[in-house]
Chain A
Amino acid sequence: MQSAITSSDITSFASLAPAYPELLLAVGTVVLLLIALFWKSHRSGVIAGVAIVLLIATFALLVMQPGDAVLFNGVFIVDGFARYMKALVLGGAAFILLISLSSAREHGLDKFEYSILILLATLGMMVMVSANDLMSLYVGLELQSLALYVVAAMKRDDSKATEAGLKYFVLGALSSGMLLYGASLVYGFTGTTQIDQIVNAITAENRSIGLIFGMVFLLAGIAFKISAVPFHMWTPDVYEGAPTPVTAFFAAAPKVAAMALFVRVTMVSFESVTRDWQQIVIFLSIASMGLAAFAAIGQNNLKRLMAYSSIGHVGFALVGLSAGTITGAEGVAVYMAIYVAMTVGVFACLLSFKTADGSPIETIGELAGLSRKRPFVAAIFAILMFSLIGLPPLAGFFAKWQVFLAAIEQGLFVLAVIGVLASAVSAFYYLRIVKVMYFDEPTHEFAAVPAELGAVMAGVGFVVVTYFVTVGAPLTAAAALAAGSL
């Protein structure tokens, strides 16, 4: 662990510079909340638009940020890894807000609170990603979670949505409890809560059983958040029950933040006991890939299918972390970036799937003949499905390439073979969607696609198809820089 500057005392506003993005987002969110409260005749669409602008401004500030720093008595760290992951979180959040604009009303999300809560959740995620202390980690995590519990249950008169919100809350609270318990054990056995100090208190020889216990609880708590098997039970129900834009958000940004946390805690705090946490990560990875591949086959609901798909993809990302090396962390970083892009694209498509009379399409069977009626959407969705399978030359292949490369370097052959076979099985359910869209005859008409959804689809489709020649090289370089700063 090499943190460049340690300025623990805040002497001037300028010394807060590394935290400017968070400050901007926090102040901006509060101001936006006040405006929305006092401006009675506001329109929720305008608030959402301002929220997107705020996210973009934060993103710009983040990218322009100067070098690495540790702030606030060492609880807040800004390094390449944090910047990279925060950029993903902000990008994911902004795009999800954008694609939920057109269908906010039918999902009961045409309230200003929706945008505000998403902003608060994003702020929480940024704090999580920058956490250098188990306390700030928890604060960020809870800010994120509490905002999302409310968002999940926002469609109050819908029994499925409230059930989803409640389920999410109960299981989320349980996982937070486990995480806290683990954190207290780690503190008890090392005497510090600071992530980059914990490593100094542990050596591979003198590791105590209590510390390992604490680590296991800590990792179990985070595994809940990334919904890795066996801590995934809430995911299908919540994904299915929550309004589709909210599901989209769940699938994208929080996964990135929690994964960043997972990488930082394991790679930094528990570096000296890599062998111990490696076993856990390998198990989570195999279980997630395997279960998702088989469980998704029987699903007919598109959102439920995407839930299992996201569980599977978390498993694949963990293949990279299993290696426990910088190459592996780089793989995770690339994987999450491509995963977020694909998720945004998939949900842009899902949000546009409506029958001619405007009722949303929820099951796979209803997509029959989409390629005849809406060739553009069908083509983009098919490309995304092929990319999720991991077929070259699409982006999803290069994501898998990076993580499996790291696993092979460390000689994790069994994990790698199980992983690629799981991806072969998972191809079955992705292909079923392509089959229904392309090989089956249409049974009904489909509604037109809103312009901004079409634009997002076209953009994502372009990136996914041309990944190798366009964003591939810069993204890999950025990920290497990010992983190197750990």
Chain B
Amino acid sequence: MLLSVITFLPALGALVLLFITGKGEAVDNLSRWIALGFTVATAALSLWLWYLFDPTTTAFQFVENIPFSDSIGYRMGVDGISVLFIPLTAVLMPAVVLTSWGSITKRVKEYLIVFLILETFMIGAFATLDLAIFYVFFEGTLIPMFLIIGIWGGARRIQATYKFFFYSFTGTVLMLLAIMYMYWQAGTLDIRVLLDFKFPPEVQTWLWIGFFASFAVKMPMWPFHRWLPEAHVEAPTGGSVILAAILLKMGGYGFIRFSISMFPDASHQFSTFVFVLSIAAIIITSLIALVQTDIKKLIAYSSVAHMGFVTMGIFTGNIYGIHGAIFQMISHGVVSAALFLCVGVVYDRMHTREIDAYGGFVERMPRYAFAFMVFTMANVGLPGTSGFIGEFLTMFAVFQVNTWVAFFAAFGVILSAGYALWLYRRVIFGALTKESLKGILDLDAREAVVLVPLVILTILFGFYPAPILDATAASVNLVAQNFANAIGAASEAAVAAAGH
């Protein structure tokens, strides 16, 4: 029951908000407090889930199973791959609600309802054990996100939200057909059964392409990333946070859970292709990030680059790569969310995202400067921050598989230091010459409450990554083992065939 409660508690919150009527500041604040209550309760339960989770077994835990029709059943359960994404989602949501105090002034109640529904969909996608239900939650996120960008976004929000919607929708419907084909092949959509089901290699190729169409857009991988910078820039702070921290991770989760676990032969076959796209993402988008004049756009491009490390790690198929990819996703979830929250802080004060409009914050906002520095260092991948571990593990993994890929990926590390530190210098350092910035205030209590836990997490996971690595270890081992077995069996078969 715990998983269902965590999944649907936010939706219940949305339902409660639906019955609040009236207008004005008092109603808006009441709505915010209610939403905060529900998201904090969800976060607490999700941490409890993490605490109860038994990391020694590879079996799915907290399983619920209610059959619905022949093809669809309500099945829930988590293993080491999925369990951490639930607390990640749930912990970031209160931060999103807290930002609504400063940055959202119109249609506050609707804003909170849409976010709570979105939270249910996101948690559900990570918690479900039925492929059809996964699709329902995965695709369902499009509706709230479309509205969030479209209603509360910036000046070019409509174009941005359409682009977001159509990229995602077109990719995802192809996955839908692959899911249906899997149903007719395996006779069920229970993910536990499908993980053990061996699809013939030629079938795997097509199914892999169907899933890739969806996850590559979601991730996003170069060259399917075009929607992301615009969506990030135009979305309100909360939308950018969720987009970067959670929605992108659904792609990575999908790659691990479905692509390499269910279609190992095809994944192996396509791994070079994925490496090339990952390297392209890491280098090209890092270079693009260097020339951005808009803070949010710069962070958005850096997200694409970081996701390049994730895809690269996943498709090495070995323990370090998958471990590193999961760690990188959790870390990036915290760090990118924090960076967008930091941008939100100054945007709420100055209402511009142009880098040139800022400078010299260190004089007026020392606390802000410190928080921003921690997240910038984590973004660069400095040892001692959470950003380092994931990047290191994925590089280490890919070095074993393909040295050239590792060689090129290393450029990404250098470039990320370039754009992130340069951004920091231009925004925080320098002389405070601009008149408009003279009166700017440092973090207030509400903003500090949001950012301080993220600072702590970033540094904690940098020095002590064990909580994350331990929880995932058993399941990652199994995935890597199965992948290696499948590849080994395939290459043995090829050798046998050649021998005849």
Interface residue ranges, A against B (CB under 8 Å): 375, 386, 391-393, 397, 401, 404-405, 408-409, 413, 416-417, 420-421, 423-424, 427-428, 431, 434-435, 438-439, 468, 472-473, 476-477
Q: Which 5 pairs of residues, A with B, have the shortest CB-CB distance?
A: A420-B173, A392-B136, A408-B180, A424-B170, A439-B150
Whole-angstrom CA separation of A438 from B153 in the bound complex: 12
SS class, residues of chain B in contact with chain A: helix
Shortest A238–chain B CB gap in Å is: 31
**Known interface pairs A420-B173, A420-B174, A439-B158. Does A431 touch B146 (Cβ–Cβ under 8 Å)?**
yes
**Number of chain B residues close to chain A: CB under 8 A:** 32
- Contacts of B110 on A, CB cut-off 8 Å? 375
Q: Are the CB atoms of B140 and A427 closer together than 8 Å?
A: no
A392 to B137, CA, bound (A): 7
Question: Which residues does B use to contact A, with CB under 8 Å?
Answer: 68-69, 71-72, 110, 132, 135-137, 139-140, 142-143, 146-147, 150-151, 157-158, 162, 165-166, 169-170, 173-174, 176-177, 180-181, 183-184
In contact, B68 and A468 (Cβ under 8 angstroms): yes
Instruction: Say yes or no: A420 contacts B176, CB within 8 Å.
Output: yes
The CA of A33 and the CA of B119, in the complex, are separated in Å by 56
Are the C-beta atoms of A404 and B177 separated by less than 8 Å?
Answer: yes
A sample of 19 more A-B contacts (CB under 8 A), given A405-B180, A416-B177, is A386-B143, A392-B140, A401-B72, A401-B176, A404-B180, A405-B71, A408-B181, A408-B183, A420-B173, A420-B176, A420-B177, A424-B166, A427-B165, A428-B162, A431-B165, A434-B147, A439-B150, A472-B68, A477-B69
Q: How far is the CB of A429 from chain B (nearest CB, A)?
A: 12
> Closest approach, in angstroms, between the C-beta of A275 and any C-beta of chain B?
20
Q: Contact between B169 and A427 (Cβ–Cβ < 8 Å)?
A: yes
Nearest CB of chain B from residue A276's CB, rounded to whole Å: 24
Residues on the A chain within 8 Å of B140, using CB: 391-393
By the criterion CB–CB under 8 Å, are A405 and B183 in contact? Answer: yes
Contact B136 A397 (CB under 8 A): yes
| A393 pairs with B183, CB closer than 8 A | no
Docked complex Cα distance between A408 and B181 (Å): 6
Number of A-B contacts (CB under 8 A): 80
Q: List 15 A-B contacts (CB under 8 A).
A: A375-B110, A391-B140, A392-B139, A405-B183, A408-B181, A413-B177, A420-B173, A420-B176, A423-B173, A427-B165, A434-B146, A438-B147, A439-B150, A439-B157, A476-B69
Whether the Cβ atoms of B184 and A435 lie closer than 8 Å is no
A421 lies within 8 A of B170 (CB)? yes
- On chain B, the residues within 8 Å of A438 by CB distance are 147, 150-151
- Which residue on chain B has the smallest CB distance to residue A375? B110
Residues of B within 8 A of A431 (CB): 146, 162, 165
B144 to chain A, nearest CB (A): 10
A439 CA to B68 CA, complexed, in Å: 37
In the bound complex, how far is the Cα of B184 from the Cα of A434, in angstroms? 36
User: Are A391's CB and B143's CB within 8 A?
Assistant: yes
Which residues of the other chain, A, contact B137 by a CB distance below 8 angstroms?
392-393
A192, B328: Cα distance in complex, Å = 71
Q: Which residues of A contact B176 (CB under 8 A)?
A: 401, 404, 420
B149 to chain A: closest residue by CB: A439
User: Chain B CB within 10 Å — which of A393, A404, A434 has the most?
Assistant: A393
Q: Smallest distance from the beta carbon of A354 to chain B beta carbons, Å? A: 23
Which of A392, A427, A473 is B135 in contact with, Cβ under 8 Å?
A392
Quick check: A427 and B166 within 8 Å, CB to CB? Answer: yes
Q: Considering only CB atoms, which chain A residue lies closest to B178 in the complex?
A: A408
User: How far does the alpha carbon of A413 sit from the alpha carbon of B151 in the complex, in Å?
Assistant: 37
> Shortest Cβ distance from A442 into chain B, in angstroms?
13
Q: B436 to chain A: closest CB distance in Å? A: 29
Inter-chain contact B139/A391, CB cutoff 8 Å? yes
Let me know if B136 and A409 touch, CB within 8 A. no
Are A473 and B166 closer than 8 Å at their CB atoms? no
Q: Kindly report which residue of chain B lies nearest to residue A417, judged by CB atoms.
A: B177
A391 CA / B180 CA spacing, docked (Å) = 16
| Shortest distance from the beta carbon of B333 to any chain A beta carbon, whole Å | 24
Collect the chain B residues with CB atoms within 8 Å of residue A404's CB.
176-177, 180
Alpha-carbon distance between A51 and B150 when the two chains are bound, in angstroms: 44
Q: CA–CA, A90 to B165, complex, Å?
A: 37
* C-alpha gap A386/B145 in the complex (Å): 13
